[in-house]
Amino acid sequence: MRYWIAGLWIGVLMSMAACDAAKTTPLDGKANQLAVGVSPADMKESTDATVNDAVAGQAQGKAVDPVEKAVAEIDALLNQKKFREAYAAVVAAETAFGSCAALSAAFDRVYDADPDYQARPREVTNDEVTAVKKLGGGSSLVYRLIKDKKTFAAFKPKQMRKQSNDRSEIAAYRLCPLMRCRFDIPVNHPVWFTYRRFSGLYARIPSNPPDELRELDLVKVDGVDRVVGTQKAWVAEYAFFPIEMENWWKPLFEAPKEYLLKAKAAEMLDAQELQKHHNGTKIANDLVTHFGTLTQYALALQLSNLLVFDFLVNNWDRYSQKEEFWGVNCQFSHGRFMSIDNGASFPQTPNPRPERHLHGIRRFSRLTYEAIGALEHDRTLERLYPDATELEKKRFETFWKQRERYLAYVEGLISEYGESETLFFD
């Protein structure tokens, strides 16, 4: 049992000392990828090979440490700059052997070397973009970045519409691997244009409303106005997942593990509850493609982590308040939830909605729980908000208090329902 005492998460700190190399149950590939482009089957093969080597070595009287072998494989991927594969290898090893100092250190080496998570603001060059087009829908300013008539990224600028924040988008992206989220967020990089250049690119699209440029929150550097913001990788294909229809998916959090591991997520699409959606047939048809062979266990794990993430960052607009828009703010793409819009994250004042949604479930990921518990305050602030402003520091403190509340909530569930039922997922 772990105990929450005076703000120190004793259990995680103690468990970080050494991995459980005896935990050598082969993985089943259900949710061991961390990033786009790495299949669970590939990570299963890698980790099963590590486990099997250890077992064979023990049979021959050799001292083969599977954790050391996993760390060596992670470092080899890092040396090849295969960052996504290295993240996936960390998660696979942590799933197989538990969280520990050696694997945590390996994760830190990968994270701190990954240019996506260390990106600093840069100017978008003349040959990268040929036009900027307003992206319709939503209440914040978002634009398509176009190159040769093809959209390659979205751009969310610093703006007067304060319900959305470009730096919060980046912070949310950087948090995801730290908490071992195992859903996806599009790559977010901080970028800037001169206002003169941005307005010129914007003027190339006749349908763009010219008055909207007045709502940009310009930053003056050396006497030149800049349009600063985040460039987000474009997600071309996804389906809507009506997360608001909780009666449809909440049975996942009551079913036995043995059933969830075998049942396919696509089997849920025939449910009468889903057909109550005004566009239920189309949603089901779209999701069957994106679910693929995903198990209900893997889907439930991602749902659990998504609700934890929303609670930590106070992301209040995942759930639409209007029935006709159910699912619009919750996207699913090729086996993974794709959290596209996180601009409302990290407000200074908590919103009660994410807490209600979090308290609606009682099953969580052990790996995610331990990763969140092991976060270090100052290091996490620097990772999420490099060169943080005073306002961003206040936003971060709100996040940190949410973290403490999440850990305390899970501890309470463990006390009431037991560890195996509460930390139900890997």
pLDDT in tens, 251-308: 999 999 999 999 999 999 988 899 899 999 999 999 999 999 999 999 999 999 999 9
Specify whether 257 is located in the same domain as 393.
Answer: yes
162 C-beta neighbours (distance < 10 Å), count: 9
Asked if residues 179 and 107 have their Cβ atoms less than 8 Å apart, the reply is: no
Strands, E assignment, 294-414: 331-333, 336-338
Same domain, 99 and 193: no
Mean pLDDT, rounded, for 29-39: 40
Q: Is residue 334 located within the same domain as residue 198?
A: no
Same domain for 156 and 247, yes or no, is no
Single residue among 59, 86, 113 that ends a domain in this structure: 113
Among residues of the chain, what percentage have pLDDT more than 90?
Answer: 81
396 and 346 share a domain?
A: yes
Question: Is 225 a residue whose pLDDT tops 70?
Answer: yes
Of 202, 398, 242, give the one whose Cα is nearest residue 331: 242
Residue 62 token pair: 């050799």
Same domain as 246, residue 227: no
Residues 260 and 388 in one domain: yes
Judged against a pLDDT cut of 80, whether residue 243 lies above it is answered with yes
- Position 33 scores a pLDDT of 39
Q: Whole-angstrom distance between the N-terminal and C-terminal Cα of the chain?
A: 17
Tell me the pLDDT band of 139, cut-offs 50, 70 and 90: confident
- C-alpha 39: how far from chain center: 17
Same domain, 253 and 398: yes
36-54 pLDDT, tens digit per residue, is 334 444 445 555 555 455 5
The per-residue pLDDT for 30 is 39
Of 49, 80, 113, the position where a domain reaches its end is: 113
Same-domain status, 243 and 385: yes
Which 8-state DSSP code applies to residue 5? Answer: E
62 — pLDDT class (breaks 50, 70, 90):
low
The CB-side HSE value for 327 (13 A sphere, CA atoms) comes to: 21
**150-157 and 224-233 strand pairing:** antiparallel
pLDDT for the residue numbered 164: 87
- 223 pLDDT band, cuts 50/70/90, is very high
What strand order describes the sheet that includes 239-240? 239-240, 331-333, 336-338
User: Alpha-carbon distance 384 to 382, whole Å?
Assistant: 6
Residues 224 and 365 both lie in one domain? no
Percent of the chain at pLDDT above 70? 85
Q: What is the 3-state secondary structure (H, E, C) of 192-222?
A: EEEHHHHHHHHHCCCCCCHHHHHHECCEEEC
Positive or negative CA dihedral for 111, 115, 116, 118?
A: positive
Q: In the structure encoding, which two tokens stand for residue 371, read together? A: 């990763």
Nearest one of 37, 21, 39 to 93, comparing CA atoms = 21
The total of structural domains in the chain comes to 3
Stated as kind and residue range, the H or E segment containing 153 is strand 150-157
* Mean pLDDT for the chain overall: 89
Q: Assess whether pLDDT exceeds 70 at residue 147.
A: yes
pLDDT tens for each residue of 75-101? 999 999 999 999 999 999 999 999 999
Give the per-residue pLDDT at 270: 87
Tokens representing 299 are 């889907």
The pLDDT of residue 29: 39
Q: Are residues 264 and 359 in the same domain?
A: yes
Calculate mean pLDDT across residues 134-152.
91
Which of 186, 209, 233 marks a domain boundary?
A: 233
391: containing domain: 239-422
At 126 the pLDDT is 86
Q: Does 204 score more than 60 pLDDT?
A: yes
**Residues 294, 381: one domain?**
yes
pLDDT digit string (tens) for 366-418? 999 999 999 999 999 999 999 999 999 999 999 999 999 999 999 999 999 99
Residue type for 248, please?
Answer: W
What number is the average pLDDT over the span 156-173?
A: 94
Cα distance between residue 130 and residue 335, in whole Å: 33
Taking residues 224-232, what's their average pLDDT?
98
Report in angstroms the alpha-carbon separations of 332 from 243, 276, 338, 368. Answer: 11, 19, 5, 20
pTM: 0.89
